[in-house]
Amino acid sequence: MTKYTLTVTCKTKRGIVAAIATFLAESGCNITDSAQFDDIESGLFFMRISFVSESGASLDALKEGFIPIADMFQMTHGFHDETEKMKVVIMVSRFGHCLNDLLYRWKIGALPIDIVAVISNHMDYQKVVVNADIPFHCIKVTKENKPEAEAAQLRIVEETGADLIVLARYMQVLSDEMCRKMSGRIINIHHSFLPSFKGANPYKQAFERGVKLIGATSHYVTADLDEGPIIEQDIIRVTHAQSPDDYVSLGRDVESQVLARAIHAHIHRRALLNGNKTVVFPASPNSYASERMG
């Protein structure tokens, strides 16, 4: 039986859940996992449903049949085949911890994605990427050629049919135009010291202030740079005994884990935009299982 996911966002109104459940049941589908959230402040309703088609109903048939319900409640919604892997472009500069972590998770199936390209403004990780049979593109970025460089990057995204761009410590600021064009489809990772410690050596700044918690934040990219809707965060404790270099090393681990969890939420359609925030539903059963365990 084919497994599908349905995501829904609309103004809250009585009868939404009943209408969806009735439609799926009458279409020969069985719900296996469901999560919903009613945001009192925004007046928006969010829902994510995993289900199987026991009658063999196709995705196109479900989409077509759902139109009257979507129109009735003015829904933003999407049906997705859970067996189809999302196409992803990874962008990286000279810090490779997130890239290497993602490549490993991808290799063992812990992140069921299709990495269609890796783009970098340096050559440091060409061999690592090519050895994984993934196309590598080095696109140098300067103040003078930034528009042309971004145009080349977008061509790769369009030609590969990528659904998501992952900034795995890509140290170039994206233009407002690129952020708007890929709105909701770019995920970034950075340390969680902002806005307290900006600029160069944030971990050293944190050390000098005696910070006891360091962490990482992964978010959707907007024109507001590091202020996009947050998907995932985590922290670890440090003490007076750690050095600035220890902070950096520990920070790398947190960044890698947080970015992977954010991507996992996005590719499984668990992260839904809610203005400047996100609604992130729990993972469905078995969604963390790898093709190659251990």
Q: pLDDT tens for residues 206-260?
A: 899 999 999 999 999 987 766 799 999 999 999 999 999 999 999 999 999 999 9
> End-to-end alpha-carbon separation of the chain, Å?
28
- Dist. CA 10–CA 13, nearest whole Å: 8
Q: Name 80's bridge partners.
A: 5
pLDDT tens digit sequence for 121-132: 999 999 999 999
Return phi, psi of residue 193, to 5°: -85, -15
pLDDT tier for residue 290 given thresholds of 50, 70 and 90? confident
Q: What is the pLDDT of residue 117?
A: 98
Q: What is the pLDDT of residue 232?
A: 97
- Dist. CA 146–CA 96, nearest whole Å: 23
Catalytic site includes residue 253: no
Given the DSSP bridges, would you call strands 136-138 and 113-120 parallel, antiparallel or unpaired?
A: parallel
Contact 280, 250 (CB under 8 A): no
Q: Is the pLDDT of residue 152 over 60?
A: yes
Which position among 114, 226, 234, 246 bears the catalytic label? Answer: 226
pLDDT tier for residue 192 given thresholds of 50, 70 and 90? confident
96 Cβ neighbours under 8 A, 6+ residues apart? 124, 125, 128, 169
Residue position matching structure tokens 């048939």? 61
Q: What percent of the chain has pLDDT over 70?
A: 98
57 Cβ neighbours under 8 A, 6+ residues apart? 27, 28, 29
pTM for the whole structure: 0.94
Greatest extent of the chain over all pairs of C-alpha atoms, in Å? 63
Q: What is the pLDDT of residue 226?
A: 67
